[in-house]
Amino acid sequence: MKCKLCLQDKDLLKKSHIVPNFLYKELREKDNSFVKANLEKLTKQPVYTGFFEPNILCQTCDNELLSKLEEYAYKIIYDSKKIKGVKIVNEINSHGVEWTMCRGVDYTKLKLFLLSMLWRFSISSNEFYKFVDLGKHEEIIRKMIFENNAGDVLDYPCSISSYRKHTDLPFKLMSQPLRHRNENGGICYTVVMQGFCYTFYISRELLPDIISEIVINKNNELKVIHLPKDSATKIVRKYMRLNV
C-alpha cells in the first residue's frame, strides 16, 4: 500500500497517531482513559487509546520523520529549559495584553510539526476530524513536510493562544478541529487542546493584519497570546459547547 506522506509502496503501520500523545497527556484520567466528546450529539465516553489511524503511514515517515518533529515540539512545550538557546519570557504591553515570547525556537522544526498535525487531520478518515478538508492545500503541505520546507512565514501560519491562566475554566479538554473564517473572510481551522488554541490560516491573501506578529517567524520567535477571560470563555463555549 502507498504511504500518504512519502507516496511510496511500503508496509504501513497499523497504528499511526493523528495527534501526538503528549498533546493530550493531561486529559487522561486515573484509569489512563480520557473523555471523548461528540459535539453534535453532546455525549461523552471514556477512551483508552489515543486517536490512531491504520494504513496511512510507513514506519520511516511515522517513526523517524514525524517523530523527530514531535520530539522537538514536546521539548519546546514542556521542557524548553533543556534546549540550548531557547528563552521564554512573559511580557505585557500598555494595553494590558499579555503574551509569552519564545526566542530561539527552530522555525522549520516547530512550523513543520504544526503543519504535520493539520495535514493528519485532513487525511484522517476518523469522524472526529471530519470538518478538516484541505483540498488542494493537502498536497502542498504534504510536500512541505516531506521535503523539510517550512516555506515563508505567511505560508499556512499557525497562531497559538492560551487560556490556562484562567484556572476556573476547563482545560482538560480536546475539541474537534473546526473550520471557520477569520475577520477578512479567509479559511481557518481551529482546535483547542489542553488550554491552548491552535488556529491554522489557509487563505494567504486574506490573512489578518496582525498575523505576522504572533506566529513563529524566521527570527526563531514565537508569541503565545494569553487570552483575556471574556475571550477565553467564548472560545470554550464555542469549541466545547460547555455552559461555563
Please tell me the pTM assigned to this model.
Answer: 0.88
Q: Which residue type does 21 have?
A: N
pLDDT at position 173 is: 77
- Residue (of 19, 54, 29, 30) closest to 174 by Cα position: 19
> Is there a domain that residue 86 lies in?
yes
Which carries the bigger pLDDT value, residue 52 or residue 57?
A: 57
- Locate 131 and state its grid cell: 470538518
Which residue range(s) make up the domain with 119?
16-240
Residue 32 confidence (pLDDT) above 60: no
Inter-residue contact 187 to 147 (CB < 8 Å): no
Which carries the bigger pLDDT value, residue 107 or residue 238?
A: 107
Q: How many domains does the chain have?
A: 1
> Is there a domain that residue 7 lies in?
no
> Is there a domain that residue 90 lies in?
yes
**The residue count for the chain:** 244
> Is there a domain that residue 11 lies in?
no
pLDDT-based confidence at residue 235 (cuts at 50, 70, 90): confident
> Is there a domain that residue 6 lies in?
no
> Is there a domain that residue 5 lies in?
no
